[in-house]
Structure formats: C-alpha cells, structure tokens
Amino acid sequence: MARTIEVTDLILRDAQQSLLETSMALEDLIPVCEDLDNAGYWSLEVWGGASFDSCIRLLNEDPWERLRTYRKLLPKTKLQMLLRGQNLLAYRNFDDSIVEKFVEKAAQNGIDVFRVFDAFNDVRNLKASLQAVRRIGKHAQGSICYLPSPVHTVAAFVDIAQQIKEVGCDSICIRDVAGLLKPQVAYDLVKGIKQKCGKGTLVNVHTRSTTGVTMVSLMKAVEAGCDMVDTAISSLAFGRGHNPTESFVEMLEGTGYECRLDMERVLRVKHHIATVRPRYRGFLDGHMGVETEIFESQIPASMISSTEIQLKGQDTGHLLQDVLSEIRDVRRDAGYPALDPPADQIIGTQAVFNQLQGKYKVLTSEFADLMLGYYGTPLGEKNAEVLAMASARANKPPISCRAADLLQPEWERRRSEAAVLPGFGGTDEDVLTYAMFPKIAPQFFKTRMEGPKHIGNEPATVDSEQPDANRSGGASASPVTYVVSLNGKEHKVMVAPVKE
Amino acid sequence: MARTIEVTDLILRDAQQSLLETSMALEDLIPVCEDLDNAGYWSLEVWGGASFDSCIRLLNEDPWERLRTYRKLLPKTKLQMLLRGQNLLAYRNFDDSIVEKFVEKAAQNGIDVFRVFDAFNDVRNLKASLQAVRRIGKHAQGSICYLPSPVHTVAAFVDIAQQIKEVGCDSICIRDVAGLLKPQVAYDLVKGIKQKCGKGTLVNVHTRSTTGVTMVSLMKAVEAGCDMVDTAISSLAFGRGHNPTESFVEMLEGTGYECRLDMERVLRVKHHIATVRPRYRGFLDGHMGVETEIFESQIPASMISSTEIQLKGQDTGHLLQDVLSEIRDVRRDAGYPALDPPADQIIGTQAVFNQLQGKYKVLTSEFADLMLGYYGTPLGEKNAEVLAMASARANKPPISCRAADLLQPEWERRRSEAAVLPGFGGTDEDVLTYAMFPKIAPQFFKTRMEGPKHIGNEPATVDSEQPDANRSGGASASPVTYVVSLNGKEHKVMVAPVKE
C-alpha cells in the first residue's frame, strides 16, 4: 500500500507572486477553478502574502471580494492563506484584538487553512493567530522559517517546531522561501520534527526551485515521513517559483508514495495558464535558470534582485556585492532573523544605508526597533554594540517580552478613522484593510467602485520612489528623525552625527 | 568518508545540441576551456552525435579540426564522444573496416572516451566499435538506450547491460534521451546492473531534465551505487537539455556522496555561456518548462517537435496527435526499438506516411529494412503482417544475423571517390567525413578553406524540404520506389497500390 502524499497547489497565489509580481487578474484565473477544485488537492493557496497588498495597490480589486469569489468557485477544496503572524499581511505588529478579528473575518470569507509564520521564528508571535484559528475550528499551520545560519542547526529548528506544537497547531510547515533547503537537511528536519513532536504531527514542506536541488529535497522529505508538500502547476513553476506539480506526482511512481491528483485536470490547468501567461510578460521574473550562488550568500534571490533595483535607482548599482555582504553582516548583528517580511526589508534598507553612509551611521527607526526586540526575538545573539547604539538613538530600552504585549487595542480607533473615508463600506473587512494599509487603503476605497484593473499586456508600473541619499546623509549634531520613502514604503530614519 | 561521484559535463556538445541545435561557434566556447579543463571533471563530452553533421552542414567547420582544437585547449581532461555504434555518426550501418578506422582516427585526434549506443539495443552493433576502442587502449563505454515499453522491463535492461559487459567495456551508460527515467527505475536499474555485472562495473547515468523528475533520478541512481553522471552547467541546462551541474554538486551536501568540482571555475563557465547564449536566440528551443505528458506518449519531446514541424510544413499540423499515436503503433510493430537515431527518423517518417496515405500503404525503404533486421534486432516481437509486407515489397528476406556482416568493406571505394573531390585533403579523416556524409561532404570540402561561419544572431535557417505528399500518394499498379527528400535527408520510398 503506497502512502498518500497530499499536495497544496500554489498557482493561485504564491506562484504568481514569485514569478509575475502578483499581477494576474482574477478573470484569467477563474477558468481554471473548476479543474483545480476537482483535481484532489489537499488545499489551494489563494490568499495572503503580498496578494492582499497587490490587490488594493495595483489591481483596484477588493481582496476580500477575491477571496469570496474563490470560495464560490472552489467549493470542495480547502482554501489556504499565508499569514505573517502578529504582522497579519503588513509590516508591523498588531495588537491581539486586530489579529483575532482578522482571523475571524478571513475564516468567514472562506479561508480554511491558515499558514502562520514569523520571520524571527519567535513562536510568541504565532500564538495569537494560531489560537484564534483553532478557536473557530479552522486548520492552524505553524511555520518554521528556514534560513541557514550558524545558530540555525537542524536541532534548533526542531526545537522551534516543538514550541509551535506546544502553542497548539494542526500541522507544521517547513517554509523555505529561498530554495536553500538541501535534500539531506530536508530529510533530517522532517525526521527530527516527527521524532520530537510525535509521528502523528502533520508536516508540510514548502520550498522554491531557485537552486535546482529542491525537487530532490521534496523526495527526501517524503522519505523522512513528510505528509504534505507545496508545488505549482508547471506553466507557472521554476525559476524563483516552485517545483512543478506534475513532476512531483510522476516522480513518486513506484516509490511506495503516491498522490491522488487527477492529472487530466491538472494538465488542463497547465495549458490554460500557459495561454494567459504571456499577457504578463512585463512582470515575468527573468531569472528562470538556477541560482546556486545563493547557497553562499544565503540571501533569497528575490531580495538580491530588489536590492539591485534599489541601488541602480540611486546610481549605486556598482555597490551591489558590498551591500549583499553587508546584508549578511546586518543579519548577523540582528541575531539571524530569517530574511522574510518584515525583517528582509528592514535589514536590506539598513544594509544600503550602512554602505552609503558608513556602518550604522544612520539607523532606520525600524532597524532600531528590530534590534531592540520590538518585532520579535530571533534565535541568535545580537551585536551588543549595535544594540546599545539602537537604544541610545531611539531613546528606548530593549525588550524581552512579546512585542505585541506593549500595544494598545486599536480596533475602535481604526474603525473611527476608516468610517470617515470616502468609499468606506462600513464592514469589519474594510476596517482591517485600512488598519493594515492606512496609506493606500483610502485611495483604494475611493476608486473601488471602478472595479478591478487588468494590468497584463502593459509594461510593469513599479513604484520607484527612492530615498534621497544626500539628504539623509547630512551630518548633524544629534540624531534627527525624518521620513524617507523607499520602494514605496515610508521609513522613519534617524541620522546620527558623522564622526570624521 | 564521502563517496566521490564523477561528472561528465555536456556543455560543449549535447547541451548545445539539445537546446541550440548545435549552432554554437567554437569561438564562443574557447574562452571556457581553461576553466572546464581545471574544474575536475571525469570527462567532457565534446564530439559526436549531431555535432559532426552540424559542423559540415551549417558551420563550414571541419569537425576533426574542432576536435583537435579541443584537445589542445583541454589537455588535462578526458575528452568524450557519442558514437552510434555501427552507424558511426550517420544513419546506416558501416562495415567493420570503416568502424575501426573511424575509432582509430577519433582517438588519434583526441577522443579518450567513446560512448557507444545502438537504438535497437542490439549489442552486436556495439561490438566492433567497443572492441576497436579497447584495442587502442581508450575507454569504451557501452550504452543502454532507455525507453520504456511493455518488453523493456528493468530485468531486460539489466540483461542488455550484461551482454555489453560480456562484449567488453570499461563502463556502462544508462542513456535516457527523453528524460523518462523515473527515480525508482533509476535506482532499480543501477542496482540491478551492479548486481548482475559486478559491483566494480562503472555505471554512468545520462538523462534529460525534460520531465522535471530526473534530478531526483540522479539522486536515486547515486544511492544505488552509480559512479558517474552527466550534467550541463546551468546556463545551458533545463528544458529539453540536462540537469544543471551546480545543482547536482550542491544537492549532495551531507548525503555521504560528493563531487570534487572546483565550483569557482564552474560558475565562471556559467557566466560566460550566459553572456554568449543570446547570440543563438534564434536556435533556442522554446520548450523550457516541463513536459510530463511524454510519460504517456513515451516519445522524446524533440521528436514530437520535429514531427510537428514536418506536419505543419505539409499543412497537416492538425494530424499531430494522430501521428504521435501512429508513432507508438509503428514502434510497437517494429519490436520497440528506442526512438534514437536512426530508428527515430525511420519510424517517424513511416508514421507520417501511415497517416497521410493509409496504414503501411507506403513503406519507406528504410522502414522495410528496419522491419527486416537490416539495422539491428530489437527486443520485442515484430508484427508478422507488417514484416511480411516489408519482405514482399522490398523483395528481400528478413535477416537474423548482425546486419553489418552482410556489408562489403568499402574503405577503398570511399577513398577513391573522395580523392577526386575538389578540396579533398587526402587524409583518412576526410575519407571518413565523406563516407558518413557523401551528399554534403563534397560541398563542404569545396568551401572549407573559407573557414567557419558564425551563425549566431541570425534567424535559424532550417532546411525545410518536405515530401510532396500528393505525388508520393499517387496510386500505381505495383510498388514503385522513388526518392523523397524529407528534412534534408533523402528517403527511398516504395509506394504500394492503394486498394479502394
């Protein structure tokens, strides 16, 4: 009797986020829903990550409405989302009342499976959402953010899994967004988690195809006892995306493991997506080969790209290798968080400032908060000197408690603020949209009635606001805080005196 | 102690044949030779397959000279070629004197490792070349052509390996040009060969990345004891090409197996090839995704493409699915040869005629010869009715001896014919070029002095001669033989009466 391996297909969310900047219009995805729903997937990832942001920022589409549409079109299959723990779908901690409200509304609108992660692997940041999910009877999947570091041994990751298990979850995901999970580590991790958390603990493996080794990692994970994997149908696979669903199914033949997918339906989806994909050529990530150099840098390929774009926008493209090296140093100084939102943006920006202004001459307020524990506590020791600097400049102490414990409930305030916005629909969903994206939600509410935009077949329109490096580098007698807009996101920057 | 897995890189030959129609100019490959030579490969495949044909047909370049250049530029590493057994680098059997002369000259010009295959897996067709290779002290690698069929069980392939071993060879290659070798079969095959032929028998695995599963097959082959694998550096990998060298090396980390490649050098080669590859955009095989449908059809993806091109040229593109189905039938009727040269062309052409003219209404003389055993004897039973038809129309009996035993030595005749050609250089190498390619060698000899052409950065100039379907389909009272030019190759076609 072959053991069944369950599959979550990413084609409706992460695959297009990884390869097409989440640009795909719902109308191009609707035609594949019937086949997807009947193909026999364990779940379909349809929401979360950057898709919410992308809907309101680029597509003028209500992400809640998109979710409800998927729910209608995919009645048989569990719908899954990716949730950034206490950060929800944004880049800062929210208080528990907002987290709980979000989980409740997401479930009401159609989500069955909540995959929850925290870039710091600080399990306290998963607790509120995992528990909220379980209270309403949905599937709570806690994630390990896999990124190697000197302190991130297999044993350390297994410990994190055990902590997640203790908080309470229905399954555990080994989440490798860089594609750095090599076959032997995949095997050891799954084996270790099964041993420590119990054989019955469901384990999913999520990885990328970027380095060309992770199809083998999936095989080894299966051999070690993994229950579920993530793949994407092949017409939206490879490169910085994922391993192809069809190949995963085929490779298991005769191995004692099998998937129960209806391959005729899967192939129909493949062909439809291959047909519409050229509409999004302008968004297509051109990196479709393998990038094994990232085993050395341990920086996700997508972060390398965005750093390169950022530097080129400042005519400092020649600094790329230095900045990448600086990213590694800053990550080390910060105690080795995973390069996942929000840590990736904060560390990347700080590394750019370090290169342009001198090491830690400028601290972004986000980076200071990160050093001081206001996002979460990573596994590694922090650089004490940088920590002291952050505390002095931000004029606040480091914390060791869960960061969200310091937050005041903000639901009522956000509701009142949203209520006066033109186009506000009066729903809790709109309050949540506003709470997570207070800068762009007002504009979206205003234009929502115009309906979704199809942005395919047009050149990419990327927000290319860049910080004014000269301005932020000016010397002044004491730390001055002001706002720098970088890649469309505002950063409060503290400028320290430059010592000659 | 990790076991070392040896690597043969295909980037100088098969990788560009699979992805770029062997269009790459030597000048674009010369800059990577020093790094390749010092990277620690077991061997580098540089010659054979279609590269010889391509040199004289497209590049106006002497393939022997190319080989000598590689020998000079790659002094440290074993140079490898792919040899079609008794067919050498052409599409028909040659007598042993020519085979022996070819092996001798190839070795003199620089080849160290001869990988020999026969599409029929008729080991008698490997004997002359393997023994010639061993007589001159070079490495003789006998190949199994892997293509599944009802008769091609793992045990059957293992038997073929044992026969090759008995003929005498230095290693055995499991050669899967379609990418159909699934992980478990790879494991079982290697294990089976090691058990039957002796643990010390060196086994290489050559596969393609086409179906997305074969990196895993390489892992399983390694676990089963395989000694050597074929890969291609990633800037010329994937699609209908091969698995990336860098990923193969990385995936072994911690598994108890390792490669001893200098990755800095490998990455330099990667970057150079990535730089010149765009010059050949016009030749690039566009199929860079995975094609798992071929597990169903069991037809190599490249053959599906060439069939499609052939049909479209005759305005019969709509018949593709029927012709593919017919290819499977014709292969079955012929006793399941592998779809490798020359069987692929012969079976493909016959399948087209069957669709256009009616089943076996027209028999090409090549197909009749194939049915009658004049190319070799495959593993399966042939369709007796088609066999009788072939015998009647070709007016000759089926044979069971080795086909080349019926051939007269032709060396002297070929030498005399070549001697009178303008531009003939008087060498044995030129006689061999002429013997293998009597139609195109004369033209090449004439223009050789003009030196190699760089055909990059120009649209592909594909010979698109097509048979005149109407003409060959004309009804006549008894079989008539005439010549049809198809894809640049002439076929003698016998037209049978059409019975209404």
Residues 6+ apart with CB under 8 A from B415: B431
- What is the residue-wise DSSP string for B240-272? TS--BHHHHHHHTTTTTEE----HHHHHHHHHH
CA distance B485 to chain A (A): 35
B216, A251: Cβ pair inside 8 Å? yes
Q: Note whether A211 contacts B: Cβ–Cβ < 8 A.
A: yes
Q: Which tokens hold the place of A408?
A: 């005041």
CA distance A261 to chain B (A): 14
Q: In angstroms, rounded to a whole number, what is the distance separating the alpha carbons of residues B435 and B413?
A: 9
Q: Which tokens hold the place of A113?
A: 């499976």
Residue A257 phi, psi dihedral angles, 5° rounding: -130, 150
Find residue A483's DSSP bridge partners: A492
Q: In angstroms, rounded to a whole number, what is the distance separating the alpha carbons of residues B124 and B96?
A: 12
Optimal mutation site among B153, B188, B246, B272, interface A, most CBs of chain A within 10 A? B246
B254, A216: Cβ pair inside 8 Å? no
Q: Per residue in B363-405, pLDDT tens?
A: 999 999 999 999 999 999 999 999 999 999 999 999 999 999 9
Report the candidate in A324, A241, A319 with the shortest Cα–Cα distance to residue A284.
A241
- Check whether the bond before A479 is cis (ω within 30° of 0): no
- At B484, is the pLDDT very low, low, confident or very high (cuts 50, 70, 90)? very low
Interface predicted TM-score of the whole assembly (ipTM), two decimals:
0.90
Contacts 24+ apart (CB under 8 A), B446-451: B446/B421, B446/B422, B447/B60, B447/B423, B448/B60, B448/B62, B448/B423, B449/B423, B450/B60, B451/B60, B451/B61
Which residues in chain A are contacts of B290 at CB distance < 8 A? 234, 237-238, 244, 246-247
Please, are residues A109 and A64 in contact by the beta-carbon 8 Å criterion? yes
> b vs e for B231-250, b when ≥16 Cβ sit within 10 Å of the residue's Cβ?
bbbbbbbbbbbbbbbbbbbb
Choice among A21-30, A260-269, A462-471, B21-30 with the minimum mean pLDDT: A462-471
Give the pLDDT mean for A37-63.
96
Residue A192 phi, psi dihedral angles, 5° rounding: -65, -45
Optimal mutation site among B5, B19, B210, B251, interface A, most CBs of chain A within 10 A? B251
Percent of chain A with pLDDT over 90: 84
Choice among A30-44, A136-150, B398-412, B453-467 with the minimum mean pLDDT: B453-467
Confidence (pLDDT) at A282 = 84
Residue B105 phi, psi dihedral angles, 5° rounding: -70, -40
Q: Per residue in B126-178, pLDDT tens?
A: 999 999 999 999 999 999 999 999 999 999 999 999 999 999 999 999 999 99
Report the candidate in B45, B11, B17, B63 with the shortest Cα–Cα distance to residue B432.
B63
A234, B293: Cβ pair inside 8 Å? no
Residue B335's alpha-carbon distances to A11, A26, A110, B296, in angstroms, are: 42, 50, 55, 19
Percent of chain B with pLDDT over 70: 91
Model-wide pTM > 0.80? yes
Confidence (pLDDT) at A468 = 32
Provide the sign of the torsion angle of the four alpha carbons B470, B472, B473, B477, taken in this order.
Answer: positive
B246, A219: Cβ pair inside 8 Å? no
Question: How many pairs of residues across A and B have Cβ atoms under 8 Å apart?
Answer: 110
Q: Is the pLDDT of residue B51 over 50?
A: yes
Find where tokens 């032997």 sit.
A184
Confidence (pLDDT) at B29 = 95
Confidence (pLDDT) at B1 = 82
Q: In angstroms, rounded to a whole number, what is the distance separating the alpha carbons of residues B55 and B51?
A: 6
Find where tokens 């069957």 sit.
B354
Please give the residue of chain B at the shortest CA–CA distance from A220. Answer: B216
Q: Note whether B183 contacts A: Cβ–Cβ < 8 A.
A: yes
Residue A448 phi, psi dihedral angles, 5° rounding: -55, -35
What does chain B come to in residues?
Answer: 500
Report which of residues A325 and B466 the model is more confident about.
A325
Confidence (pLDDT) at B460 = 36
Please give the residue of chain A at the shortest CA–CA distance from B243. Answer: A212
The reply to whether CATH 3.20.20.70 applies to domain A3-283 is yes
- At B473, is the pLDDT very low, low, confident or very high (cuts 50, 70, 90)? very low
CA distance B368 to chain A (A): 36
Q: In angstroms, rounded to a whole number, what is the distance separating the alpha carbons of residues B18 and B284?
A: 9
Residue B270 carries which side chain, given as an amino acid letter?
A: K
Confidence (pLDDT) at B285 = 74
- At A63, is the pLDDT very low, low, confident or very high (cuts 50, 70, 90)? very high
- At A492, is the pLDDT very low, low, confident or very high (cuts 50, 70, 90)? low
Provide the sign of the torsion angle of the four alpha carbons B397, B403, B409, B411, taken in this order.
Answer: positive
Confidence (pLDDT) at A485 = 45
Confidence (pLDDT) at A475 = 31
Q: In angstroms, rounded to a whole number, what is the distance separating the alpha carbons of residues A225 and A229?
A: 11
Give the pLDDT mean for B252-269.
97
Q: Is the pLDDT of residue A227 over 60?
A: yes
Q: In angstroms, rounded to a whole number, what is the distance separating the alpha carbons of residues A26 and A58?
A: 13
CA distance A150 to chain B (A): 16
What does chain A come to in residues?
Answer: 500
Q: Per residue in A391-404, pLDDT tens?
A: 999 999 999 999 99
Q: In angstroms, rounded to a whole number, what is the distance separating the alpha carbons of residues A40 and A245?
A: 12
Residue B399 half-sphere exposure toward CB, CA atoms < 13 A: 17
Residues 6+ apart with CB under 8 A from B412: none
Q: Note whether A369 contacts B: Cβ–Cβ < 8 A.
A: no
SS3 (DSSP) at B81: strand
Report which of residues B284 and B208 the model is more confident about.
B208
B267, A184: Cβ pair inside 8 Å? no
Q: In angstroms, rounded to a whole number, what is the distance separating the alpha carbons of residues A397 and B284?
A: 59
Q: Which tokens hold the place of B432?
A: 């061999």
Residue B162's alpha-carbon distances to B192, B196, B201, in angstroms, are: 10, 7, 10
Q: In angstroms, rounded to a whole number, what is the distance separating the alpha carbons of residues A233 and A287?
A: 18
Confidence (pLDDT) at A281 = 86
CB neighbour class for B361 (10 Å; exposed up to 12, middle 13-18, buried from 19): middle
Find where tokens 């105690």 sit.
A335
Helix A96-109 to helix A63-73 angle (10° resolution) is 40
Which residues in chain B are contacts of A246 at CB distance < 8 A? 212, 290, 292
Q: Per residue in A336-346, pLDDT tens?
A: 999 999 999 99
Instruction: Out of B254, B289, B293, name the one closest to residue A182 (CB).
Output: B254
**pLDDT averaged over every residue in chain A:** 91
Find where tokens 């860089």 sit.
A178
Residue A114 φ/ψ region, left for φ over 0, alpha for ψ in the -120 to 50 degree band, beta for the rest? beta
Q: Note whether A295 contacts B: Cβ–Cβ < 8 A.
A: yes
B251, A219: Cβ pair inside 8 Å? no
Residues 6+ apart with CB under 8 A from B135: none
- At A489, is the pLDDT very low, low, confident or very high (cuts 50, 70, 90)? low
Which residues in chain A are contacts of B213 at CB distance < 8 A? 215, 247, 250-251
DSSP code, position B57: I
Helix B96-109 to helix B63-73 angle (10° resolution) is 40
Confidence (pLDDT) at A302 = 86
Q: Which tokens hold the place of A488?
A: 């469309």
B184, A254: Cβ pair inside 8 Å? yes
> b vs e for A343-352, b when ≥16 Cβ sit within 10 Å of the residue's Cβ?
bbbbbbbbbb
Give the pLDDT mean for B107-124.
98
Q: Is the pLDDT of residue B125 over 80?
A: yes
Q: Is the pLDDT of residue A68 over 90?
A: yes
- At A462, is the pLDDT very low, low, confident or very high (cuts 50, 70, 90)? very low
Q: Note whether A286 contacts B: Cβ–Cβ < 8 A.
A: no
Q: Which tokens hold the place of B348?
A: 């493909």
DSSP β-ladder status, B489-495 and B480-486: antiparallel
Q: Is the pLDDT of residue B438 over 70?
A: yes
Give the pLDDT mean for B290-310.
89
Q: Which tokens hold the place of B454?
A: 């760089």
Q: Which tokens hold the place of A50?
A: 């950057």
Give CATH 3.20.20.70 domain extents, chain A: 3-283
Q: Which tokens hold the place of A111?
A: 């989500």
Q: Per residue in A301-355, pLDDT tens?
A: 889 988 988 899 889 999 999 999 999 999 999 999 999 999 999 999 999 999 9
Q: Which tokens hold the place of A464?
A: 């290319």
Which residues in chain B are contacts of A153 at CB distance < 8 A? none
Q: Is the pLDDT of residue A182 over 90?
A: yes
- What is the residue-wise DSSP string for A165-224? HHH--SEEEEE-SSS---HHHHHHHHHHHHHHH-TTSEEEEE--STTS-HHHHHHHHHHT
**In Å, how far from its chain's centre is CA B22?**
13
Q: Per residue in B324-337, pLDDT tens?
A: 999 999 999 999 99
Please, are residues B9 and B262 in contact by the beta-carbon 8 Å criterion? no
Q: Is the pLDDT of residue B239 over 60?
A: yes
Q: Which tokens hold the place of A390?
A: 């952050």
Q: Where are the alpha helices (DSSP H) in B240-383?
A: 245-251, 263-276, 294-297, 301-313, 320-333, 343-357, 365-372
